[in-house]
Structure 1
Amino acid sequence: MSLNVNPEIVSIFSLWGGVLALKILAMSLLTARQRFRKQVFANPEDTSLASKKSKVVFDDPDVERVRRAHLNDLENVVPWFIVTSLWIGTDPSTWLASLLIRTFVITRIIHTIVYAIVPFPQPARGLSFGVGFLTTGYMAVSTILHYSS
């Protein structure tokens, strides 16, 4: 079996993968922003970075919301990177690869917005999660089928 990887698809994956990596890095900054805004930190030594009113708190709802969104990213984006890296070796059409890669990244951005930045009522978060999940699932099944034949 030979591996045929379309350079145009690799370029698309690299571009959108880079966007997604920056988005995940931004989640750390979003968490820090919430901690400073609320003056709540996870470690006593961190309170010295802010005002005298700052304190150690492990259950602030706003900070925890951002942390859960970040964790959700890690739970979904890491498998997507792995699956997509394998899937592009199955020689998908450039149109389909571009559509699925962009769809996943955009749904993860939407998920962050409606979960951590401007909490929006369901089903916004569920839909953005589901579309991304199904995208990764499709690529995983396609990859398994391709390499099992």
Structure 2
Amino acid sequence: MTDLITNGVFSCFVFYGVLLVIKMYIIAIITGQVRLRKKAFANPEDALRHGGLQYHRQDPYVERCRRAHVNDMENILPFLFLGAIYSMTGPSLAVARIHFLVFFMGRMLHTIAYLFALRAPTRSLAYTVAQIPCISMAVQILIAVAAYA
């Protein structure tokens, strides 16, 4: 374990990976807080606890927060897998850091665009930019392991 932590590339990956996981937790908390503020609960038992079944309903902003969270899970979880494997292929620290930073910044912008309903194409552009390092890492992983397959 000490070898992994002292590996600069892996440590850089862990840094950005943990920040992204924290961001996912923050979006989940935001979603819950918006549900409470808007009194829009997904489950009848939650609605009953907070005023009655009339609050077992959807709200457009709650749904926007929820979709941002689901989108994070669809994109950050594959990044965590790819980044961990990519870190073991021996890339240069500078190149790896760019991959991790670009993904991180793309996901941050994507979340901001989602939550604040920024005009198109901000969210789509942020999504696309964040996919570039993932595709690059996937290709480099495949090249690294192709000889052993």
TM-score normalised over the length of structure 2: 0.88
Q: Aligned equivalents of 2:97 and 2:66: distance in 1? A: 30
Q: Which runs of 4+ in 1 moved over 2 A?
A: 47-54
SS in 1 for 2:88: helix
Distance in 2 separating the partners of 1:114 and 1:50: 30
Q: Which has the higher contact order (CA 8 A, sep 6+)?
A: 1
* SS, match of residue 91 in structure 2: coil
Q: Which residue of 1 aligns with 2:25?
A: 25
**Matching residue of 1:135:** 133
Displacement of 1:50 in angstroms is: 3.4
Where do residues 73-88 of structure 1 align in structure 2 (5 Å cutoff)? Answer: 73-88=72-87
Aligned partner letter, 1:62: Y
1:95 aligned partner: 94
Question: For structure 2, which runs of at least 5 residues remain unmatched after alignment?
Answer: none
User: Would the aligned equivalents of 2:10 and 2:88 in 1 still touch at CA under 8 Å?
Assistant: no
Point out where structure 1 has 5 or more consecutive residues left out of the alignment.
Answer: none
Alignment-derived partner of residue 120 in structure 2: 122
RMSD of aligned residue pairs (Cα, Å):
1.9
Give me the TM-score of the superposition, normalised by structure 1: 0.88
Equivalent residues in 2 for 1:26-105 (5 A)? Answer: 26-51=26-51, 55-57=55-57, 59-105=58-104
Alpha-carbon distance between aligned partners in 1 of 2:33 and 2:10, rounded to the nearest angstrom: 34
The C-alpha deviation readout for 1:116-139, integer Å capped at 9, x for no partner, is: 2x1101111011100111210110
CA distance in 2, matches of 1:100, 1:120: 25
Distance 1:31 1:50 in 2: 16
Deviation at 1:145, TM superposition (A): 1.1
